[in-house]
Chains A and B, each alone.
Chain A
Amino acid sequence: MLNQERVCEMTKLAIFDRKEGRECKPMIQYFRTDYIGKELLKSFISGTIAFALIIGITGLYFMEDLLEQINSIDIRQMAIRLCICYGVCMAVYFAVTYIVYYIRYTKGRHKIKKYYLHLKKVNKIYHEEEEI
C-alpha cells in the first residue's frame, strides 16, 4: 500500500531535482573556494574576450582619427593606459563575479540542506516500512 507521507516527500525531492537540481549540483561537488575560483577563471576568459571585442570595435569606430594621428601617438603611453583600463575592468568584473557566485553558493547550500532533510525522512520512512 502507498505511504502517503513518503510519496509527498519523494515528490518534493523530484521537484527539486527537476527545477533546481542542476543548478545546485556544483554546490555538492565543490568547496566554496573551488566553486568561486572556477567561476573567476571563466570570468577571466569571458572578460578578456569581451574587453578585446570592445577595444577592437572602438578602434574601428575611431579608425579615421587614429590614422590621422598615427605619427603623433605615443604607443607606449597608449599601451600603459590600455593595461590600466583592462586591469580596472577585470577587477570590477571579478568583484561582481565573486559577489554573485558567493551568494549563489550560500543559497544553493541552504537548498541542498533542505533536500538532504527530505532525503533523510524518506530513508527513515523506508526503514519503518521494512520493520513492519
Chain B
Amino acid sequence: MTGLLEVKERLRNIYVRFDIYLNPLFKFILAICVFSIINGNIGYMRRLNALPVTLVLSLVCAILPLNAMIVLAGAVILLHLYALALEVAAVACILFLLISLLYFRFSPKDSIYALLTPFCMHFNLGPVMPLTAGLMGKVYSVVSVICGTVIWFFLNGVKQNEAALGSSEETAAVSKFTAALNQIMNNKEMYLVMITFLLVTVIVFLVRRLSIDYAWTVAIIVGALVNFIVLFAGYLVLGINGKTVGLIIGSLLSLAVAFVLEFLFFNLDYSRTERVQFEDDEYYYYVKAVPKMYVAEQEKQVKTFNAKGGRRTARKRSLEYRGEDLD
C-alpha cells in the first residue's frame, strides 16, 4: 500500500509540474479514442475515416475546451449518419438538439459524462459512469449519463440496422424515420439501462455522503450490486438472452475502475479518525475528522564513491587552502 501511495504522490507531483502540457495531451488521447470509435463503428463517410482527419480533429480538440470535443464528435456523427441516410441524420440532429436545449443549457460542465458514457458502454464498462457520477458529481449528473446512454443505444441500433436504413431502394422517407426512431422509442433494454443507471447514481451519491467509515467503498459495492441485480432481473423479465457473461465481466471491471477512482480521489485513513465535541453559544458540535492517507515521496540521494577522484579533490582543496598551485 505504501508503494502505491508513493506512486500516487509521484504521479500527482508530475501532474502538478506539467499540467499545462498534460491536459492537452489527455484531451488529444481522449479525442483520438472517441473519433476512432465513431469511425470504426459508424464510419459511413469514408473521407472522415482517414487518419489525417482524425488527427487534425484530435489536435483541435486538444487546444479547445472539452465541450468543443462534444460538439465536434456530434458533428462527425451527423456527417456519418448523413452518408448513411438523411432521415437517420435528421433524427440524430433532433436528438442532439433536444439534449442540448433541455439539459446542457443548465449544466454545460456535465456534458463530459454524456461523451464518456457511450465510450464506456462500447467497452462493456457502462456501470463505470453512474458509479463515477455518484462518487464525483452531483446527483443531477445522472441526467448527463442518461443522455449518453440514449445516444449510445441510438447509434448501436443504427449500426445493427445499417443495411435496412441505408438501402438505396425507394423506401418511403417516413418509414426510415420510423425505423430510426424505433431505436429509441421501442428499445426496452435502453429503458432498463436508463432506470438502472438512475438508481445506481442516486444510491451511490446518497451512500457516499453518509457519515460512516469507508463510505466510498460501501457506496461502490452497493452501487455495483444494485446495477448487477436490477440489470440481471430486467434481462430475465424482458427475455433478453446472452447478456449475463458480459454483465458479470462488465460489473467486475467497473468495480475495479471505481476502486481506482476511490484510491486516487478519496483515500482516507480511518484508523486515525479523530472525534471531538465542543460547543459555542448556539450549537453543540460533534466533529469527526478523518485524515487523508499520505506518504511523502522518498528523496533519493545519490552518493558517488570514487577513491581516486576523491583523493585528488582532497589534495586540490588542501593545496588551495594553503595557497599553492596544483603543479
Contact = CB atoms under 8 A, between A and B. Distances in A.
Interface string B86-97: 000001001001
Interface in A9-42: 42
- Chain A: interface residue count, which band? 10 to 19
Interface in A65-105: 93, 96-97, 100
Given A42-B105, A57-B91, A100-B106, A50 B98 contact: yes
Contact of A61 (B97, B102, B181): B181
B22 interface: no
A53 B98 contact: yes
A54 interface: yes
A19 to B, nearest CB: 12
A46 B102 CA distance: 7
A63 interface: yes
B16 to A, nearest CB: 15
B174 A64 contact: yes
B177 A53 contact: no
B181 A57 contact: yes
Contact of A63 (B94, B106, B178, B185): B178
B97 A53 contact: yes
A50 B101 contact: yes
Contacts of B94: 53, 56-57
B105 A61 contact: no
Interface of B is mostly: helix
A46 B101 contact: yes
A46 B105 contact: yes
Contacts of A60: 174, 177-178, 181
Nearest to A97: B106
Nearest to B102: A50
A27 B230 CA distance: 44
Nearest to A67: B174
A49 interface: yes
Contacts of B105: 42-43, 46
B144 to A, nearest CB: 15
Given A42-B105, A46-B105, A61 B98 contact: no
A100 to B, nearest CB: 5
B101 A61 contact: no
A49 B101 CA distance: 8
A61 B177 contact: yes
A54 B98 contact: yes
B245 to A, nearest CB: 35
Contacts of A47: 101-102
A120 to B, nearest CB: 27
- Shortest 10 CB-CB contacts between residues of A and residues of B: A46-B101, A50-B101, A60-B177, A61-B181, A63-B174, A53-B94, A50-B102, A100-B106, A50-B98, A57-B94
Given A47-B102, A96-B106, 4 more contacts: A50-B97, A50-B102, A53-B101, A93-B102
